Amino acid sequence: MDKKLESIEFKYLKSLSNQFPNIAAASTEIINLQAIMNLPKGTEHFLTDIHGECEQFNHVMKNGSGSVRRKIDEEFGNTLSEKDKRSLATLIYYPKEKLAIVEEEEEFLEDWYKVTLHRLVRMLTRVSSKYTRSKVRRALPKDFAYVIEELITEKEELEDKELYYNEIIHTIINIGSAPQFIIELSELIQRMVVDHLHIVGDIFDRGKGPHIIMDTLMRYHSLDIQWGNHDVIWMGAAAGDMTCIATVIRNSARYGNLDTLEEGYGINLVPLATFALQTYAKTDCSVFAIKYDDDYNTRDLELDMRMHKAISILQFKLEGATIRRHPEWGMDDRLLLDKIDYEKRTVQCYGKEYAMNDVDFPTVDPRNPYALTEDEQLVMERLVAAFKHSEKLQKHVKFLYSKGAMYKVHNSNLLYHGCVPMDENGNFRSLTIAGTEYKGKALYDALETYARKGYYSKDPEERQFGRDILYYIWAGPNSPVYGKDKMATFERYFLEDKETHKEIKNPYYKLYNNEDVVNSIMQEFGLSLANSHIINGHVPVEVAKGETPIKCGGKLLVIDGGFSKAYQAKTGIAGYTLVANSHGMYLVSHQPFESKEVAVRTEADIVSERIPVEMAPRRIMVADTDVGKELKESISQLEKLLEAYREGIILEK
C-alpha cells in the first residue's frame, strides 16, 4: 500500500480508537452493527404535490398511508371486530380528539382505559420490533420513557411477570395518567410506523396551509425533500427576489389565499392593498376572478381582485426584466407587454394577432412597458422587506435548503419532482448557465448550486444571478422541475383562444414508458438497472381517464394523483402516496378528505386502494439498504482497528 495512504488510514484508526479505546469496545460495536444489519429495513413513506392541503396531509402522515391499519390487522387478526379496529385506528390518529368523545360517552371508562392501554402497548411492541432498543429509547417521550420501555419489553403472558405488567397498567389508570399515556402511546406508534419520509416536491400554493405543513415537517424525525417548482418560487421570494415575490403573491391572490401570507407568515400586504385601491379604482378587474373555497370571506372579493390585477401586472413587468437579462434562456416568447396594440386591443404572439379581453393597464407605459412606476417600485421594496423579515418564512425556507435538494438517490430509488429534460429522441437537453452547457445530472447539480447561492451568497452579483436561476427553475422551458415549454400565465388571463393556453410537456412525458430512456436516466444518476426505480410527481395522473401511475413496467412511478383539491375533478382521486417497506413497494390511492372532525366522529379513513408495485422475493433487511452499506464500511474499519490492537500497532487504553 502507498505509504501516504497507509498514513491516512493509520490516522483514521487512531481517531477511531478514541471512540472505541480497546478490543472489548470495538468488538461490542461490531456485534451491535452486525445485528442491526439483520433487522428488517424501516418503512419509507413518499408524498408529493401536497399544495397546502394541510388537513389531508396531516391525516396521511398520521395513518402512514394505511401502514397503521395494516399493523392493526397483523397484530389482532380476527380477534378484533372491524368496528374495534376502526376505533383503535382513529384513536391512534387523533388521540386527544377521540379521548374527548370517549370520556363523554363511555359508561365504564376505567374498563375502556384498561383494554385500550393493553391494545396500544401491543401495537407499539409490534411497530418497534424492527428497531434496536437504543433507537426506540431515543424516540420515547421523556416523562413516560421508563414505564413504556418496561411495558414493551416485558411479556405479559409470562406468569412471573404478569402481575408486574398488569400493576403498571392499573397504576397508570389509578393515578389519573391514562389519558396522557394513551396520547403518548398513540403518537409514538405514529412515529414508529414510518422510519423515513420523502417529500417529492410542491409543498406550497393552491391550499391554505403550507405554513402548517412546514411546521409539521420541521418536527418530523427523519425526512428529505426534493424541491418542486412551487417550493422554489417561495425560496426565491424569501431570498428577496422581486419577480419571485410578485409570483408568490399572484398565486396566493388567484386562489383566495392571501391570508396564508398575512396570517400564516405575518407578511404585511397593506402597501399592495393601498396601491391597488388607488391605482386600480376605476379599472375593470373582471378578468382577475378569485378561485375560492367555501371558507373564503367574499367581503374581500373586490379588493382581492384589484390586488390580483395589480400584482399580476407587476409580475409581467418584473419577469420581463429578468428574462431580458438572460437571452441564453430562450424565453423571449414570454415578453408580451411590448407586443400589445392598445388601440386594436390585440397582442402579437405565435406569429399571429390575438384579441385581448383586457388592456386597461394604468401603470404600463407602451413606450417602456417593463419599467416600474415610482409607486410600483415603492410597493415592491416594501414587499421585499416584508418577505425578508418574516421570521417564520425564513425559518421554513432555511429548512427547505437544509433538508432539500433538486434530486436524491436513496435505496436504489431516484427521486425528483418533475423530469429530466430531453428531446424527442431521448437525448438529454442542455442549458447554458454562466457560459457553460449542462445536461442530465450535471444540469440538476448546477441549478442546485446556483439556487443555494441565490439565498446564501454574500456577493451581490452572484446572489442576483442565483435568484434569477430560482425564477428559471420555476418556469424555464428546460427546468427539470417545471418540464413544459412555457408557463402561459399571460395567455390564460388575456386571450380567449384556448390554443394559446397550451403548455407543451417535455418529451420526457411521452418517453417514460420507453425502457431504454428510463435506463439511460438511471445510469446517468449512477443507479444499477436491476431493482431500481424513478419516483416523481408534478404532473397529475388522470385516473378518471384510465391513466396509471406505474410507468415502464414499474421502473418509473408518477405519484401525483391530485392531493390538491384544485386537481381532484381532473384526476378522480385525492392523491397517491407510496410506501416501501421490508416486504416491497406499493402505491396507495386516497379518497378526498372531508375534515378531521368527520374522521374522528365517524371513524372514517381515506385510504381507498393499495396497489402492489414490486414485492420482494425475500424480506429486505438493513444490510440491503444505503444505511447497510455505511454499516458494512464501519464494520470493516472496526475490524482493522481490532487487528491494529492485536498486533500492537495501536495501544489499548
Handedness of CA 508, 510, 512, 516 (dihedral sign): negative
Q: What are the grid coordinates assigned to 141, written together?
A: 417521550
The percent of residues above 70 in pLDDT, for the chain, comes to 95
**What pLDDT score does 155 carry?**
61
Least confident range from 239-248, 475-484, 562-571: namely: 562-571
**What pLDDT score does 6 carry?**
67
**What pLDDT score does 73 carry?**
92
| Residue 473 host element (H or E) | helix 460-475
Domain boundaries, the chain: 3-39+625-646, 65-193, 210-489
Task: Map grid coordinates 375533478 to a residue.
Answer: 569
**What pLDDT score does 561 carry?**
62
| Average pLDDT rounded to a whole number, residues 267-291 | 94
Closest CA to 46 of 451, 560, 556: 560
Which of the listed ranges 96-105, 153-162, 182-191, 314-323 does the model predict with the highest average pLDDT?
314-323
**Cβ(557)–Cβ(415) below 8 Å:** no
3-class secondary-structure state, position 8: helix
| Average pLDDT rounded to a whole number, residues 263-292 | 94
**What pLDDT score does 406 carry?**
97
Name the amino acid, one letter, at 562: G
Q: Is residue 135 over pLDDT 70?
A: yes
> Per-residue DSSP letters for 117-137?
HHHHHHHHHHHTTTS-HHHHH
In angstroms, the CA 442 to CA 369 distance is: 37
pTM: 0.92
**Cβ(189)–Cβ(124) below 8 Å:** yes
Least confident range from 203-212, 271-280, 388-397, 585-594: namely: 585-594
**What pLDDT score does 608 carry?**
63
Q: What confidence tens digit (pLDDT) does each residue in 108-120 have?
A: 898 999 999 889 9
Q: What confidence tens digit (pLDDT) does each residue in 584-606 have?
A: 999 888 777 777 788 888 877 76
Which of the listed ranges 225-234, 528-537, 568-577, 615-624 does the model predict with the highest average pLDDT?
225-234
Sheet (strand 340-341) strand order: 340-341, 346-349, 352-355
Q: How far is CA 310 from CA 131, 199, 371, 486, 571, in A?
A: 55, 33, 14, 22, 32
Q: Is residue 238 over pLDDT 70?
A: yes
| Residue 400 host element (H or E) | helix 391-403
Q: What confidence tens digit (pLDDT) does each residue in 9-36 have?
A: 888 898 999 999 999 999 999 999 999 9
> What is the phi-psi region of residue 552: left when phi exceeds 0, alpha when psi lies from -120 to 50, beta otherwise?
left
In angstroms, the CA 533 to CA 542 distance is: 21
Q: What are the grid coordinates assigned to 291, written together?
A: 378561485
Q: What is the mean pLDDT of the chain?
A: 90
**Cβ(349)–Cβ(336) below 8 Å:** yes
Q: Is residue 137 over pLDDT 80?
A: yes
Q: Is residue 159 over pLDDT 60?
A: no
3-class secondary-structure state, position 241: coil
Q: What confidence tens digit (pLDDT) does each residue in 426-468 have?
A: 999 999 999 999 999 999 999 999 999 999 999 999 999 999 9
Q: What confidence tens digit (pLDDT) does each residue in 485-510 have?
A: 999 999 999 999 999 999 999 999 99
Closest CA to 483 of 574, 412, 416: 416
CA geometry: angle 340, 343, 345, nearest 5 deg: 55
Closest CA to 124 of 195, 221, 189: 189
**Length of the chain in terms of residues written:** 653
| Average pLDDT rounded to a whole number, residues 350-375 | 95
Q: Is residue 571 over pLDDT 70?
A: no
**What pLDDT score does 96 carry?**
93
Closest CA to 488 of 480, 379, 497, 116: 497
**What pLDDT score does 212 carry?**
95
Give residue 213's pLDDT band: very low, low, confident or very high (50, 70, 90). Answer: very high
Q: Is residue 250 over pLDDT 90?
A: yes
Burial class (CB in 10 A: 0-12, 13-18, 19+), 138: exposed
Q: Is residue 563 over pLDDT 80?
A: no
**What pLDDT score does 562 carry?**
65
In angstroms, the CA 480 to CA 444 distance is: 7
3-state SS string over 82-110?
HHHHHHHHHHHHCHHHHHHHHHHHCCCHH
| Residue 408 host element (H or E) | strand 407-410
| Residue 18 host element (H or E) | helix 3-19
**What pLDDT score does 531 carry?**
87
**What pLDDT score does 573 carry?**
63
Q: Is residue 1 over pLDDT 50?
A: no
Give residue 211's pLDDT band: very low, low, confident or very high (50, 70, 90). Answer: very high
**Cβ(549)–Cβ(576) below 8 Å:** yes
Give residue 418's pLDDT band: very low, low, confident or very high (50, 70, 90). Answer: very high
Q: How far is CA 278 from CA 236, 281, 302, 303, 311, in A?
A: 28, 5, 13, 11, 14
3-class secondary-structure state, position 514: coil
Give residue 4's pLDDT band: very low, low, confident or very high (50, 70, 90). Answer: very low
The percent of residues above 90 in pLDDT, for the chain, comes to 69
What distance, in Å, lies between the first and last C-alpha atoms of the chain? 27
Q: What confidence tens digit (pLDDT) does each residue in 338-347 have?
A: 999 999 999 9
Give residue 371's pLDDT band: very low, low, confident or very high (50, 70, 90). Answer: very high
Chain-centre distance for alpha carbon 435: 32
Q: What confidence tens digit (pLDDT) does each residue in 282-337 have?
A: 999 999 998 887 777 778 889 999 999 999 999 999 999 999 999 999 999 999 99
